[in-house]
Structure 1
């Protein structure tokens, strides 16, 4: 029987899938009382709140009194913080929920825009959207911690789409925005440069030159518009581009290998290769046609990022969407290719649609449940009261030596009127002050042989401070017991998560000794 609603509903199925995922995420986030993470998300939102309240900000040197940014202050996330200002009026937990949904929406919409340009059925587009947002546990997890870098992921997808559709002038606008958005502009810039070579190989010399010049011009304009141009340029070329290669630092750096999370990546990569080979073998599409349609460009980008993920797990943020785009490009050359290949490799019973959809639904459900459970079980630990209470009696503008670099977002969000010693990846400390890294490495992996009194004396001499703050952990029990007995410290606050001491000056210490 003919149903007049069937076709229109099918046409909007990808959009409905994206909306359904957003509803799913929104429902889950509304069930959490506290931020999903005490990481970069709340740090950026706190700064956006300060800007919204009319406070000036000349860079992270306004907040950090030690390390690289204390010597060359800049804000690598300038435009990001400007865009987040409307969220500054909200409670931090609500603001983070809104940010997460906006980031998911940005990534999902740009991905959907890309799919709309390909010859794919609505059902195939819907499956790809579901795989994007729910198909990789680690990717979904990183979406839910609210890191604004996903704005750059969305912009990178738009950049690739623009290059493939040979619209070089639009790249000028995109690269200008990307440069102002954050230092991660290197990703869309890389795509532009690789795209110029791809266009050159197609004998599109004029378009290739325009693509290169537009990308370069956008970069220059963005740098000139940045409020801390010289310091930002210095940061990008002397710090940011060197950080990924300092993976040997044993201080808790985020730049660690992602090889243990590559099962889904390698599976999709294998599927792309298998489908592409089957297209060539059956003469459905030649290698030349694949190259002309841009598959070679996307494949080159994916290959570089896959190799990068072997060293840096954070490459997944950009790799996963681009890998699914590559799969979509392969399928668009001849949509029945997946079914034909499955007929060759799989038994007949496995080809039934109900089994295929059942397995897909099971994988997505397990991934989603696993991710949501991980966030739900630790959410109580993310209450900002764990950090505001121990810091409440500290005077404004006091220098707080947070020996744990990943403690900074929580402390900054709880008391943005204080100054902090560390705020970025430990690689930043190493590049600006190599001697300091031994103090932080000792805390990262405490040893019973460490003399914590000597460690404290040398640390305070190296980084003069007013207060000391550190995470509480079972492996630090001996360390904390020793610090509690040290007469150079006065206990001022503690919670289930952190402990805070006042560092006594020689005068204060003498006065206490006399008493």
Structure 2
């Protein structure tokens, strides 16, 4: 006969107590998760509202390149993830060697290409940076920073130029998102996630070496401050980058393109003008458009001096990153899309021990810390949002070249080449007109690296240094049509004096010449 176990009353009570404890812990965890979810949703809504306030204050897009990105995303959605690219045949991005070094970014843009492309680009430029700022809050929360939500709102307050760059339909917001996710994984010990992040970052943007900078900063900080050298994060990140380069939709052409793309900027081996973003700000301009970002770094340094505790490795990591990205910013203004974020995060972590100590004290002073932080934050937030909105409102009209492009599409043969006098006009022309192909675009070094002599000839023609340029335009560039903005007066003068160049279209933005024989 099998015996039956009957628990004693004491054992039954203990079991019921354990069950009740587990149930209480589950309820607390659910309440915690729900409150975290609601706080995250509220923060995301605020980020979305602030960025929409900037973005929809004008019908124009921030910058020029966004017109190209959203149009190419539409082409990818309609024709496939590796579309043919016949539009820049005289550059390193010709049809045989084309590499989409923003491939993953264009994939992310594809859901925004239904309907009005301009509005789709704007919504993408609200959603992606808002997710980036939310990732910043998640990072602060993971590092147990008090008042992490208030600190995260600082992303809307630290720099007008930062918000303007985040509002561009370009990959920089997604790039910062990847770096913040990588930093969170590194600081929280989830090192293996750096492998897929590195892999995908390569597909997203050619700024992927910054991943090694971010991870390397933590390795260095932990070694210097805690005496522990752990290179596993660097190995995972490096392996992810290598895999992203090799297991790549454009391998091996992507390796050649990276050399062509980055070497002129890193070595300054060419006198070719590559756009204002690669040159530094004037010092006072930086103070005007990013003063709060400079101030929060100084405040972070002040907190380090006031704190009796030894600097922790996570704070040291952000300290190194703020210095590195600050140095990059003084070299090139395009790093304004990184420095303010890392300066803010450094400041938040530097003040963490002081705020924890003050909040532990009894009295009203401890309870007033959130109000004090909010009073400091809100005026800067509103002022920065307003200035960023004004910067976006001062951008070139989205309609520039729309009518000229429509005329070209209607009156020129499909695939016919257009000689244009400005390399950065390509993005708008491509947005409105994929019917024609173009001389150069996106980056002047793409032609300069493809054929230096051809590029020099293009410069001479556009500057009006070539008399009767029709023969050169036809024979060297394969173009029978030329488009110029009205500011290239010397080119227009030479074109009007050339009997083989006839003006066939003109509006307030551009003139089109046809070469006839």
Q: Quote the Cα distance in structure 2 between the aligned partners of 1:319 and 1:149.
A: 12
Structure 1 residue 160 corresponds to structure 2 residue 160: no
Question: Residues 334, 353 of structure 1: CA spacing in aligned structure 2 closer, same or farther, 3 A cutoff?
Answer: closer
Question: Residues 239, 370 of structure 1: CA spacing in aligned structure 2 closer, same or farther, 3 A cutoff?
Answer: closer
| Alpha carbons 2:415, 2:436 under 8 Å: kept | yes
Q: Quote the Cα distance in structure 2 between the aligned partners of 1:294 and 1:321.
A: 15
User: Which residue matches 1:513?
Assistant: none
What displacement does 1:200 show?
4.8
2:202 to 176, 179, 185: 179
1:26 to 52, 55, 73: 52
Q: What does 1:293-332 correspond to in 2, within 5 Å? A: 293-332=313-352
Q: Quote the Cα distance in structure 2 between the aligned partners of 1:250 and 1:224.
A: 30
**1:397 aligned counterpart, secondary structure:** coil
The superposition leaves residues 154-203 of structure 1 with CA deviations (integer Å, 9 ceiling, x where unpaired) of: 10111112112222211111111111112221111322344344455545
User: Which residue matches 1:99?
Assistant: 124
| Alpha carbons 1:403, 1:469 under 8 Å: kept | yes
| Alpha carbons 2:158, 2:381 under 8 Å: kept | yes
**1:183 aligned counterpart, secondary structure:** coil
1:490 to 502, 506, 510: 502
| Alpha carbons 1:239, 1:431 under 8 Å: kept | no
Structure 1 residue 464 corresponds to structure 2 residue 486: no
Q: What does 1:30-41 correspond to in 2, within 5 Å? A: 30=56, 32=58, 34-37=59-62, 39-41=64-66
| Alpha carbons 2:137, 2:152 under 8 Å: kept | yes
User: Which residue matches 2:379?
Assistant: 362
Q: Quote the Cα distance in structure 1 between the aligned partners of 2:173 and 2:61.
A: 16
Question: Residues 80, 21 of structure 1: CA spacing in aligned structure 2 closer, same or farther, 3 A cutoff?
Answer: closer
How many residues are aligned here? Answer: 467
What displacement does 1:248 show?
7.2
CA RMSD of aligned residues (A): 3.2
**2:252 aligned counterpart, secondary structure:** helix
User: Which residue matches 2:22?
Assistant: none
Q: Quote the Cα distance in structure 1 between the aligned partners of 2:306 and 2:37.
A: 29
Question: Residues 10, 180 of structure 1: CA spacing in aligned structure 2 closer, same or farther, 3 A cutoff?
Answer: closer
Question: Residues 317, 353 of structure 1: CA spacing in aligned structure 2 closer, same or farther, 3 A cutoff?
Answer: closer
Q: Quote the Cα distance in structure 2 between the aligned partners of 1:49 and 1:421.
A: 22
| Alpha carbons 1:135, 1:367 under 8 Å: kept | yes
The superposition leaves residues 267-305 of structure 1 with CA deviations (integer Å, 9 ceiling, x where unpaired) of: 2222222221222xxxx212xxx2x43222222222222
**1:262 aligned counterpart, secondary structure:** helix
Q: What does 1:55-134 correspond to in 2, within 5 Å? A: 55=80, 57=82, 62-70=86-94, 72-122=97-147, 125-126=149-150, 128-134=151-157
TM-score by length of 2: 0.80
User: Which residue matches 1:3?
Assistant: none
Q: What does 1:271-286 correspond to in 2, within 5 Å? A: 271-279=299-307, 284-286=308-310
Over alpha carbons, which structure has the higher Rg? 2
| Alpha carbons 1:259, 1:309 under 8 Å: kept | no
User: Which residue matches 1:389?
Assistant: 406
Ranges in structure 2 where 5+ consecutive residues have no aligned partner: 1-33, 360-367
Question: Residues 406, 299 of structure 1: CA spacing in aligned structure 2 closer, same or farther, 3 A cutoff?
Answer: same
User: Which residue matches 2:392?
Assistant: 375
What displacement does 1:410 show?
0.3
The superposition leaves residues 345-396 of structure 1 with CA deviations (integer Å, 9 ceiling, x where unpaired) of: xxxxxx9998985664333323322322333355645466344334232221
Ranges in structure 1 where 5+ consecutive residues have no aligned partner: 1-7, 340-350, 510-515
